[in-house]
A and B are shown apart, each in its own frame.
Chain A
């Protein structure tokens, strides 16, 4: 395991970089996905159409295509920023489509009578959603949302590979390609890094699931 132990600092930096990609994507995709889900159930037909087009297009595109669009398409439109921002932005957009569908299925699990009762006491659309439907949808939404986010943790390696660099995956590539270390120990180290992230995420998820199950 020398290649790993000799380069712990490189691994550690990569680990932190991966965590930062994941953290931003987590927050961003939850916000954007919730917004798109609100579009998809809104009473405004054009918003619904936009929401379903977004989901259909983004969900059926490979992540790499989304990333190419971000990194090479946007500059053609005069939008220039770092590869890091493009990469994280692409991962947010890609993940938002899956977040949206998880939330929408949660919303559909809440009986129509709940929203009707909310409307009947005069709550406008947004409050019907935020006060009555979403808090109940949350319970049904947490498990699928968790799998979406854990898939995103792993997709962060694609973003790293895409040229953002400095993440866990790139640390491994650097050690093998540039520094000539053997693949198996180096990649084992990389895999352990990702396992730490996903297993911790899974444990947190279990805690959240228990929390929302009790708060009924």
Chain B
């Protein structure tokens, strides 16, 4: 893997807030799925979001690139409030990389085409240049030799690494990961986490929903614990895992540690 830089130059402005959620509320009908959420993610910071199933972690993640709308409060990226719709919204999404639990690679396109589609159609980059850059990224995630294949021909771990390359191809300011290893067989989890640790070390700003404590301990600056739509506790990974403050977190950790 190369030590190539991503667009958010970490050393330059590390620490200044990049993603800010302020008084964010959301309801699904009667369900108050996000409750007065405050979260500020600094440039270059890696935040792990952890919590029981149904606590609103995916919704939080999806709200940051407006795949879900919010009912109250404000979310801003790099000082700009998220646009509501249209061209500006599409432009915002190009700045925010997203990796899904179920990979969601474009099934009818080759691995290479999956990675170049955004740069060519959204950024207007010439095909030859997009191909070159895509091959570099595929090299970086270790899939370059499979560039001509279709997603269905790859293992889950390989597909997820392609999905990361696809997101990186847009030179995003921040990367969102929603349980990126939950759909993977155990032997493939590490190959995906390695790529993510590598990204974190190179200064990418990341919001990662995951229950992988190893990743949180190695790569995260902060752990945010959610329960029932609210942020219950925030701490460094070490403190959170060894000395959780809230009863909800203690209860949750005792459950996942038993497995």
Contact = CB atoms under 8 A, between A and B. Distances in A.
Interface of A: 43, 111, 113-114, 116-124, 127, 131-132, 135-136, 215-216
A118 B85 contact: no
A111 to B, nearest CB: 8
B107 A117 contact: no
A182 B92 CA distance: 72
A93 to B, nearest CB: 31
B117 A114 contact: no
Interface stretch (B93-101, B209-217, B231-239, B243-251): B93-101
Contacts of A135: 108
A136 B67 CA distance: 21
Given A117-B104, A117-B106, A136-B108, A123 B122 contact: yes
Contacts of B86: 124
A119 B93 contact: yes
Contact of B117 (A43, A111, A116, A121): A121
B107 A121 contact: no
Given A122-B91, A216-B108, A131 B67 contact: no
The number of chain B residues touching the other chain, given as a range, is 20 to 34
Contact of B106 (A43, A122, A124, A132): A132
Given A120-B65, A120-B67, 10 more contacts: A116-B104, A118-B106, A120-B96, A121-B170, A122-B93, A123-B121, A127-B121, A132-B106, A135-B108, A136-B108
B102 interface: yes
Nearest to A139: B108
B118 interface: yes
Question: Which of A111, A117, A121, A136 has the most chain B CB atoms inside 10 A of its CB?
Answer: A121
B108 A116 contact: no
Q: Is the interface of A mostly helix, strand, loop or mixed?
A: helix
A209 to B, nearest CB: 16
- Residue with the greatest number of chain B CB neighbours at <10 A, chosen from A111, A120, A215, A216: A120
The residue in A43, A111, A131, A135 that gathers the most chain B C-beta atoms within 10 A of its C-beta is A131
Given A114-B106, A114-B107, A216-B108, A124 B100 contact: no
A136 B166 CA distance: 19
A122 B90 contact: yes
A40 to B, nearest CB: 19
Given A123-B90, A124-B90, A131 B121 contact: yes
15 contacts: A113-B100, A118-B106, A119-B93, A120-B65, A120-B67, A120-B96, A120-B97, A120-B98, A121-B93, A121-B167, A123-B121, A123-B122, A135-B108, A216-B108, A216-B150
Interface of B: 65, 67, 85-87, 90-98, 100, 102, 104-108, 117-118, 121-122, 150, 152, 163, 166-167, 170
Contacts of A118: 106
Nearest to A119: B93
Nearest to B93: A122
Contacts of A116: 67, 100, 104
A122 B122 contact: yes
A31 to B, nearest CB: 22
A-B complex: 3 closest residue pairs judged by Cβ atoms:
A122-B94, A121-B118, A117-B104
B166 A114 contact: no
A118 B98 CA distance: 10
Nearest to A115: B104
A149 B148 CA distance: 36
B208 to A, nearest CB: 16
A131 B105 CA distance: 13
